[in-house]
Structures are given as structure tokens and as C-alpha cells.
Amino acid sequence: MGAGHDHGEAGHAHNHGAGANARSLSIALGLTASFLVAELVGAWLFNSLALLSDAAHMFTDAAALAIALAAIRIGQRPADKRRTYGYRRFEILAAAFNAVLLFLVAGFVLYEGIQRFFAPSEVQSLGMLLVASAGLLVNLVAMRVLAGGKDDSLNVKGAYLEVWADMLGSVGVIGAALLIWGTGWNWVDPVVAIAIGLWVLPRTWILLRDTTHILLQGVPRGIDLDAVRAAMRAQPGVADVHDLHIWSVAGDDASLTAHVVVSDGGDVDVVRVALAATLEARFEIHHATIQPETAPCADAASLHD
């Protein structure tokens, strides 16, 4: 026997949120892609590695935004006979891919920066300054557009982090251009490029860690497994709880399955409904599948909660 709770209002809210995120991503993608070519040309014309680093991040921004947008479109598909949970997990795969892409770009920039640090080349600082300033403006607008959805979707958060990193990159390039223009120190260019790469890495790691945790069906962050188990065991009529699992499909939801041993004289249906209500009220777990038992199942002793 099981208890499943899923709310149409929650699904409607997700669809509405996904639609808003898709619009935000589309606007940010248009802004980013329209400036990418200009920044690449500027990096080549003005011989700036820092500007090339910023252009590389701008490219990953565009790629991340495009992937995130595609992930939302695919994630809105309904469940079917092959994908009974639907396609929302695709958003997590996209976020993980974006994290890996950022790692690769950061590694390339670090390598090139070290090479050029020992062999500085002349940089046209004024042209570098002009392009980086325009890039900063584009990034600020894109960040403003994405800010509303970054706390609700890891997919949008990944895209937001991409743009955020590129925004700081633009600030760094502007500072480097001003310093090179005033002092002629061309070595500042690779130093700024290396600093951008080092700044991006820990934030990229956090995104990769969170997406990997979801893909491994870890307990959603913010939910204490021991507290959930204790609350279930404290429910009147419950003798024990085992085979307890809590996971998330796309980072903004939580699902639970558990075997519950009902005490002698306890009403199975009453216990099941009460548990589902407790899980929803105290832990915001809206989808719970509970298997009541009058005695522990044969495998209970070998299960590790």
C-alpha cells in the first residue's frame, strides 16, 4: 500500500516558473550572443588575452544559456511510458554540463595566462577598454534579467553564475586596460586573465557538486534525514521506519519512499494519511510513497538507513 501526494497547483506553479525562466534565458541569450562576435574580434585586433578570456567566458555564457533554454523546453514535456518522472532531470544534466564547460574554459585561460606571463606581448589598451566596457553593460543587463529565477532553478543558477563570472571578468579587463594604458605594463593582461580563471573555479565546483548530488539521488539540501525519520517514528501508531529514501528530481522538489511498521492495533490507513500530512506540513515533502507493514519485512534487518 502507498500514499502518494502530488499537487496540481505545484505543477502549475512549476510550469509558470519554467515559462518565466525561459523568457529570461531567451533575452539573456540574445544579448550575449549579439556581443560575442564583437568581443572575439576585439580580442584579436587588440591582442589581449584578458579580453580573449572574457570572450571565452562570453562564449560559454551563450552556450550555457542556449543549453539551459533547451533544457527548460525539454523539461516541460509531460511524463510518458519511458520517462515516468518526466524530463525535468534534463535541466540538472544541462547545469552539470555547463559546470564542466566552465572548468575547461578556466583551465585553458590559466594555461594561456601562465604562458603569456613569461612572454608578455603588446596590448592595445584603449581598444581593449572600449570592448570590455560594452561587455560589462551587456552582462549587467543579462544578470538583471536572470536574477529572478536563480534561486528556484539550478539550471538558471548555472547560467546566472556564467554571466556573473563574465561580468567580473569584464571589470577585471577594464581595470587591466586602464593600468596598461597608464603604465605600459603588458604583464597585467595575463595576470588579470589568470585571476578571472581562479575566481571562476570554486563557484563552478559548487554548481558541479550540487548537480552531482541530485544526479546521485542524494537527500535534498535543507532536509535532515534523521529529523524526518524521528518525526515519522514519533507518529502515533508507528512502531518503526526503515528503507527511508528522500531525493529530488530537479533540485526544487522532494520525493520520499519508506516502509512503516504499524504497531499492534494501529489503523494502517489512519497512520498512512497522518504521516503524509506530517511530511507535507513539517518538511514540505509533497510526494510521499509509504508502504505500511504489520511486521518488518524480511530485508529490513539488512537495510541501512
| Cell numbers for 114 | 601562465
Highest mean pLDDT: which of 40-49, 174-183, 258-267, 274-283? Answer: 274-283
Evaluate if residue 83 carries a pLDDT over 90.
no
Taking residue 103's Cβ as centre, other Cβ atoms within 10 Å add up to 16
Contact between 71 and 94 under an 8 Å Cβ cutoff? The reply is: yes
Mean pLDDT, residues 106-135 taken together:
79
Give the helix/strand (H/E) hosting 239. strand 238-247
Residue with cell 541569450: 29
As beta bridge partners, residue 261 has 240, 293
Evaluate if residue 79 carries a pLDDT over 90.
no
- Reference 219, options 210, 208, 230; nearest CA is 210
User: What Rg value do the Cα atoms of the chain yield, rounded?
Assistant: 25
Specify the pLDDT at position 1.
45
| Cell numbers for 264 | 499492534
Q: Which fold has domain 225-302?
A: Alpha-Beta Plaits (3.30.70)
Specify the pLDDT at position 246.
95
Task: List Cβ neighbours of 239 (8 Å cut-off, separation of 6 or more).
Answer: 261, 262, 263, 264, 266
Q: What percent of the chain has pLDDT over 70?
A: 84
Evaluate if residue 303 carries a pLDDT over 70.
no
Instruction: For residue 242, name the pLDDT band (cuts at 50, 70, 90).
Output: very high
- In terms of C-beta density within 10 A (0-12 exposed, 13-18 middle, 19 or more buried), how is residue 133 classed? middle
CA 71 to chain centre: 12
Contact between 266 and 234 under an 8 Å Cβ cutoff? The reply is: no
Where do the structural domains in the chain lie, given as residue ranges?
14-215, 225-302
Instruction: For residue 223, name the pLDDT band (cuts at 50, 70, 90).
Output: very high
Helix pair angle (225-233, 268-283), 10° resolution: 140
Evaluate if residue 301 carries a pLDDT over 60.
no
Scanning the chain, the segments in alpha helix (DSSP H) are 8-46, 49-75, 89-118, 125-146, 154-183, 188-215, 225-233, 268-283
pLDDT digits (tens, 9 = 90+) for 131-189: 888 888 888 888 888 876 666 666 677 777 777 877 877 788 888 889 888 888 888 87
Handedness of CA 169, 146, 70, 80 (dihedral sign): positive
Specify the pLDDT at position 154.
67
Evaluate if residue 305 carries a pLDDT over 70.
no
Q: Which fold has domain 14-215?
A: Alpha-lytic protease prodomain-like (1.20.1510)
